[in-house]
Structure 1
Amino acid sequence: LLLPRTARPHIAAIYAFARIADDIADEPGMSNEERLRLLNDWEKQLLEAKDGRATHPVFAALSESAFRLTIDYSLFTHLLSAFRQDVVKHRYMSFNELLDYCRRSANPVGRLVLQIFNFRDERMFELSDAICTALQLTNFWQDMSVDGSAGRIYAPLEDLRRFGVAEEDILLRRGSASFANLMAYQVSRTRELFHQGRPLIAMLQSPVSLEIRLTWAGGMRILDKIESSGYTVLQTRPRLRWTDGPTLLLQTLLDR
């Protein structure tokens, strides 16, 4: 991480909270009812931490960070709402419905990071939301094969119908020209969100701005890989490799 050493414990506390909740939501061999029960218990411990009654080490650290930095606790409950939704909802009818999920699953993370560095400007929050939503969508398109194998489809069903793609095509990993057109459309509007959020970088100072710039560039690089592969995300999962590092770093340093 390029972030200051003083910020790392707070970042670690937020990551631990979200990582455990995400693991609960995706725990194999567990019923949906059990996952939801554990997530509800996780939220109960969150509320106890808010009242200064934390017992779990994750919540003790989170409570300390929230107290010192005046962090908005509702952002944590938004994350838990998204994790619970992920347990029971595996299809999205419209792009707006998918954006609402991103509003709770991704955007709180960016807002929490801004709050750690004492940024409270609503315009900065909005720009952060655009970047975080774009990153979440990029992850969906990157993981089409993995999610499809698990029975999950994040591409809006209205878009599948528009481009003539059947749900079974994704679940069975059957690529086609229609699927490529569908993904080209998703990649294009995800890029638009990245560009909408980009002004945030200029509003921040190093090293935070450099960290966000690298994250932004990494997301865009994944979209480039999806496009250059011919949108074969049902067969191969595009990923960043160590060989992408110098290119991303050079682009980040020059593109100011």
Structure 2
Amino acid sequence: MYDAALSDTVAKYPVDIQPFKDMIEGMRLDLRKSRYENFDELYLYCYYVARTMGLMSVPVVGISPESKASTETVYNAALALGIANHSPTYSETLEKSKRGRIYLPQEELARVGLSDDNIFRGKVTDKWRNFMKGQIKRARKFFDEAEKGVGGLNSASRWPVWASLLLYRQILDAIEANDYNNFTKRAYVGKAKKLVSLPSAYGRALMGASDLAKLVVR
């Protein structure tokens, strides 16, 4: 059933095969790699397992004929949204560490005086809070970058993409509300907040690219 759906999609839309191959490579990478020395290494992993979905999706959701944004801008935004949506998995830090995997830059952990043992023990300290503040700040920059290109998508596609962006972004807020306790508290967006976010996402989806740019700047 899934093969039939994928075949139909590839036949109807100009979907490139490379992102699919890259995603498979990311899954292979999980079999042989459980630590990432720096953010560049982690960034590549995030491309394989998350940003590839943006490259797969843009040909399907489509770029608006009225869009003044370049195709490159829209695709860069899709790539940014992929890595931004992957970043809230910070909320699963302890769960993943129990499987022997730490998806955090080792250099940046060491810079603030943290090690794998600190992750395995799962205790929130000032060092951990400072570390997470930096990670969340960077994640929000990717969300900001993603916002720049959503207005360039076809009007029928913008609402679900905006909803995804706003909801995933709120997971970062939830981590902060939990005092950066990624270990014993699961960061999630409640149903009420999700419902409130949908009209906001719809409103943004209706906005023109120029009006949206002014909103992003504010």
* Length-normalised TM-score, structure 1: 0.73
Q: Structure 1 stretch 58-67 or stretch 71-80: which is displaced more? A: 58-67
* Length-normalised TM-score, structure 2: 0.85
The residue matched to 2:103 in structure 1 has which SS? coil
2:216 corresponds to = none
* Matched AA of 1:77: K
Q: Which of residues 155, 158, 162 in structure 1 aligns to 2:111?
A: 162
Q: Which of residues 135, 147, 169 in structure 1 aligns to 2:85?
A: 135
1:29 corresponds to = none
The residue matched to 2:155 in structure 1 has which SS? coil
2:200 corresponds to = 251
What per-residue deviation string (whole Å, max 9, x for no partner) do you get for residues 203-230 of structure 1? 1233311111111101110011111211
What per-residue deviation string (whole Å, max 9, x for no partner) do you get for residues 29-55 of structure 1? xxxxxxxxxxxxxxxxxxxxxxxxxxx
2:12 corresponds to = 68
Q: Does 1:95 align with 2:10?
A: no
The residue matched to 2:191 in structure 1 has which SS? coil
Contact 1:143 1:237 in 2 (8 A): yes
1:112 corresponds to = 56
Number of positions where the alignment pairs a residue of Structure 1 with one of Structure 2: 199
| Runs (5+) with no aligned partner, structure 2 | 64-69, 208-218
Measure the CA separation in 2 of the matches of 1:91 and 1:59: 33
Q: Does 1:78 align with 2:25?
A: no
What per-residue deviation string (whole Å, max 9, x for no partner) do you get for residues 71-101 of structure 1? 1011110110001111221110101111111
Measure the CA separation in 1 of the matches of 2:16 and 2:176: 38
* Matched AA of 2:113: G
Higher relative contact order (CA 8 A, sep 6+): 2
Q: Which of residues 185, 189, 211 in structure 2 aligns to 1:240?
A: 189
Give the CA RMSD over aligned residues: 1.7
Between the aligned residues of both structures, percent identity stands at 24
2:127 corresponds to = 178
What per-residue deviation string (whole Å, max 9, x for no partner) do you get for residues 94-146 of structure 1? 0111111111111111121111134492221111101111111222x121121
2:140 corresponds to = 191
Seen in structure 2, the aligned counterparts of structure 1 residues 181 and 78 have a Cα distance that, compared at 3 Å, is: same
